[in-house]
Amino acid sequence: MSEEKGREELLGAFKKWADGVEQKLSKRPERKEEFVNTSGIPVNRAYTPLDRTDDNYLPEIGLPGEYPYTRGVQPTMYRGRYWTMRQYAGFASAEESNKRYRFLLDQGQTGLSVAFDLPTQIGYDSDDEMAIGEVGKVGVAIDSLKDIETLFHKIPLDKVSTSMTINSPAAVLLAMYIAMAEKQGVQAEKLRGTIQNDILKEYSSRGTYIFPPKPSMRIITDIFSYCTKKVPMWNTISISGYHIREAGSTAVQEVAFTLANGIAYVEAALKAGLDVDTFGPRLSFFFNSHLDFLEEIAKYRAARRLWAKIMKERFSAKNPKSMMIRFHTQTAGCTLTLQQPKNNIVRVAFQAMSAVLGGTQSLHTNSMDEALCLPSEEAVQIALRTQQLIAYETGVTDTVDPLAGSYYLEALTREIFERAEEYINKIDDMGGAVPAIEQGYIQREIQDSAYKYQLDIEKEERIVVGLNRFQVEEEKPTNLLRVDPAVREAQIKRLKELKSERDNEKVNKSLSDLKQVAQGEDNLMPYILDAVKAYASLGEICNVLREVFGEYQQVSTLGR
């Protein structure tokens, strides 16, 4: 039988089946009039080979480890090596966080992920007035190289890779990491890890910006250029959809806005004279793993295909590594409920599974108590065990991209790809991600989706188990992990001691050199490294840059 004839026969059978189902609907209606996923994509009753485009198999889907990487960036994926299990952690002081890292490594975690407190993320020392109430709260407080030395005490940097969630002051924290490793006897060229360094999503979604876009993009391209030569195994940026999604975007918007930011970074680096195939392979990405299991898997696959196409066709990359999206995934914090928190263990397990089926390179699983506070040791252990269960017990890791070929999943992958590409075209028309953010377009799109999501919950069009259905009376949780306010006092004391012990002349010289370079065009990194090594504080370094670059003012996007 010819393929054509087979298809015709199927089409006939499908029509007959669909008519039959329609007729019975009056008696036995479906749960909803319309099934639509979070991205607004209609979901059909059933998918068949009629939804398939096998004629486009190679260009659209291809083989694992081959362009366009829809099926994964490596040919063997988890048959070769599991993803890196990397729990985001850090709170209070460097000593306290160092203890948590060593606990996690003892429990079989394979990489570190550092959470900094907000003053550190926004370039304030712990003794700054802006830092009152925030020191050590959402992450560890770092004021100088001294704190970084404590943070990584007895952690073998040649064996462990470290991811640091730091954006505006990423250059400073990277410099501290390099300086500290040097003291441990580990050369910069051996260091493996990631700095988030993704300022654009800070403007649109996460809020820890310092400088305006132009100098911020310069810092980023300076880092690209420096690392290419000196820290070649370092991921110089983690272009993040995670926070865009947490701020309320849909899955399609997450892909579109993340890759649009990616395009802006590549353009900035090209403009700075870098070659796409030198920095391209070191770009990494970070996605969210949300509730809709299959939509999420399709999202990762679509993102891989779309980035590969962008790098190859728009930027003429030649190195396959430039075309591969390597990404970290974190389960969606915004889906955790305060109500019946143990249900969160199950939510996280499903979300982690979709990240694995979507081919993630590393994964953070949220702890059940994170809707309320920083995770307890027990809760973190369960979260890590969830990943280990998926890796070692479920069998999904034994074949590459096991859901490929599902009629639904492939149709959804294509749909997300096309819709995200449409958004990117629209952003291109605005002049790219930076103008789109400056005009408030991306922020508005995200906040509209967030508002719709909330109203859907309130109208019970979206059911959240334990929140708007299946509720129970519960005891209020007690004994939460809390950060002692004394952390701030201790940080301030240490900073004072540091300032009295260090060679202040050397510090001042390094800071005035940095200021001069900031006013010119040379690469900032070597000067930041000198300042860090002289034990200039994070706040001192960022204040010099504030003086030269100014500060970003948020655009207002509320009101219509």
Distance, CA of 139 to CA of 544 (rounded, Å)? 24
Does residue 373 belong to the site contacting other proteins (CB under 8 A)? yes
Q: What pairing do the DSSP bridges indicate for beta strands 234-235 and 111-114?
A: unpaired
- 330 forms bridges with which residues in the sheet? 288, 364
Cite the DSSP H helix spans in 251-360.
251-271, 276-279, 293-309, 320-323, 343-357
Q: Is 208 in the site for other proteins (CB under 8 A)?
A: yes
DSSP notation for 93-139: SHHHHHHHHHHHHHTT--EEEEPBPHHHHTT--TTSGGGTTTTTSSS
The verdict on 554 binding other proteins (CB under 8 A) reads yes
246 lies in the binding site for other proteins (CB under 8 A): yes
Indicate the SS3 state at residue 386.
helix
**Phi, psi dihedrals of residue 283, rounded to the nearest 5°:** -75, 130
Check if the beta carbon of residue 491 is closer than 8 Å to that of residue 141: yes
Give the whole-angstrom CA distance, residue 172 versus residue 182.
15
Question: From CA 288, how far away is CA 246, in angstroms rounded?
Answer: 8
Which residue number, 28 or 469, has a Cβ lying nearer to other proteins? 469
Q: Is 291 in the site for other proteins (CB under 8 A)?
A: no
H helix runs in 169-314, sequence order: 170-184, 199-201, 213-230, 242-246, 251-271, 276-279, 293-309
Q: How far apart are the first and last CA of the chain?
A: 59
C-beta of 87 vs 335, nearer to other proteins: 335
Closest to other proteins by CB, 116 vs 224, is 116
Beta carbon of residue 415, minimum distance to other proteins (angstroms, whole number): 26
| Count of residues interacting with other proteins (CB under 8 A) | 45
Among 122, 173, 524, 525, which residue interacts with other proteins (rule: CB under 8 A)?
A: 122
Report in angstroms how near the CB of residue 560 gets to other proteins at its nearest: 8
Minimum separation from the CB atom of position 370 to other proteins (A): 9
Q: How many CB atoms lie within 10 A of CB 106?
A: 8
Nearer to other proteins, 50 or 130 (CB): 130
- Closest contact distance (angstroms) between CB of 100 and other proteins is 17
Applying the rule CB under 8 A, the residues between 102 and 121 that interact with other proteins are 118-119, 121
Mark 37-76 with x for binding to other proteins (rule: CB under 8 A) and - for no binding.
----------------------------------------
Of the candidate residues 96, 125, 127, 134, the single one contacting other proteins (CB under 8 A): 134
Q: Does 248 bind other proteins (CB under 8 A)?
A: yes
Judged by CB under 8 A, the chain residues 332 through 371 that form the site for other proteins are 334, 337-339, 371
Which letter does DSSP use for residue 42 in this model? B
Work out how close the CB of 290 gets to other proteins at its nearest, in angstroms, rounded to a whole number. Answer: 14
When binding is defined by CB under 8 A, the residue of 483, 487, 498, 518 that contacts other proteins is 483
In the bound complex, what is the minimum distance in angstroms from residue 205's beta carbon to other proteins? 8
Show the binding pattern over residues 418-457: x = contacts other proteins (CB under 8 A), - = does not.
-----------------------------x--xx--xx-x
* Joined tokens for residue 447: 């906040």
Decide: is 2 part of the binding site for other proteins (CB under 8 A). Answer: no
Q: How far is the CB of 297 from other proteins (least distance, A)?
A: 25
Does position 558 interact with other proteins (CB under 8 A)? The reply is yes
Distance CA 238, CA 194 (A): 7
490 binding other proteins? (CB under 8 A): no
Cis peptide bond upstream of 68, omega within 30? yes
Which residue, chain included where needed, has tokens 């309130």?
458
Identify residues 146-205 at the interface with other proteins (CB under 8 A): 202
- Decide if 287 contacts 257 (C-beta within 8 A): no
Taking a C-beta distance cutoff of 8 angstroms, is the pair 507, 543 a contact? Answer: no
Question: Whole-number minimum distance, CB 338 to other proteins, in Å?
Answer: 4
Nearer to other proteins, 42 or 559 (CB): 559
Give whole-number Cα distances, 255 to 151, 401, 440, in Å: 34, 19, 18
Where do contacts with other proteins occur on this chain (CB under 8 A)? 118-119, 121-122, 124, 130-134, 137-138, 202, 206-208, 246-248, 334, 337-339, 371-373, 447, 450-451, 454-455, 457-458, 467, 476-478, 480, 482-483, 485, 554, 556, 558-559
